[in-house]
Structure 1
Amino acid sequence: MSLPDKPLLVYDGDCGFCRVWIARWRRTTGDRVEYAPYQEAAARFPEMPIERFRGAVQLVEPDGRWSAGAEAVFRSLAHAPGRGWGLWLYLRLPGFAPVSEWCYRRVARHRSALERITRWIGW
């Protein structure tokens, strides 16, 4: 395994919805987080089953920690100034983590429709 020098958020590069939101998050986090489609990054992590990359975004930390789904989103955004509140809630507010993961799974399941809506409203 080749650990990144900074947090690496791995996403589905074939997903238009994912690409739209990754572009927004990239603007938010700047150079504090690296972003890569799993179609390119998976080779760096041969021990990780490809299904894990296909199922949800994955955050790989420089210390070797992995997180997925909503947790990965909150952890990656926490690297931007003033954006740590989501991770704080995820880690400390009872019920917030399971609800966040439930919402993440629903969004992931309907990402094609949500991509159209996102583009339609101009995001």
Structure 2
Amino acid sequence: MIAGRPLLVFDGDCAFCTTWARRGQRWLGLEHVEPWQFLDLDELGLTQDECEQAVQWVTDDGDHCAAEFAVIASLRHAGGVWAVLGSVMALPGIRQLAGVVYRLVAKYRHKLPGGTPACSLPRVDPD
């Protein structure tokens, strides 16, 4: 978390992830959306492998969830119609479908459009 606020953590080396994380920040009004490469993952209770595999949502109390659960949590946090969408996505059956869609997108994300300058950033190795 950053300053007691929930945080959406994404892969800044992935053009698709960067584009959609920034859109989510703008559309949902999320204050803290950061690439994992610029964060202290140990402080957040995350690993590099977790962050390379899926988007992460870290709550203000330090709990975290990943993949479609992170998407659902960020939608719910946004409030309004987004919270309704997040609640619908969490329903049995729909959540499983959201998981399948998330995994398909994650598997092919490097082939999807949405390039940004973040793609050219050098990878930061953890100390």
* TM-score normalised to structure 2 length: 0.77
Contact 1:7 1:61 in 2 (8 A): yes
The reply to whether residue 85 of structure 1 matches residue 91 of structure 2 is: no
The 1:64/1:47 distance shift into structure 2, 3 A limit, reads closer
Q: CA RMSD in A?
A: 1.9
1:66 and 1:46 mapped to 2: Cα distance? 9
Write the letter of the residue equivalent to 2:43. F
- Post-superposition offset of 1:36: 0.7
* TM-score normalised to structure 1 length: 0.80
Deviations 1:87-111 (A, max 9, x none): 21233x2211121111101001111
Write the letter of the residue equivalent to 1:29. L
1:46 and 1:67 mapped to 2: Cα distance? 12
- Post-superposition offset of 1:46: 6.6
Contact 2:22 2:33 in 1 (8 A): no
Is 57-66 or 38-47 further displaced after alignment? 38-47
In structure 1, the gaps of 5 or more residues are none
- Post-superposition offset of 1:43: 3.6
Q: How many residues align?
A: 113
1:75 and 1:10 mapped to 2: Cα distance? 12
Hey, what does 1:16 align to over in structure 2?
A: 15
Listed as ranges, the matches of 1:8-87 within 5 Å are: 8-30=7-29, 32-45=30-43, 47-80=45-78, 81-87=80-86
Q: Which runs of 4+ in 1 moved over 6 A?
A: none
Contact 2:45 2:62 in 1 (8 A): no
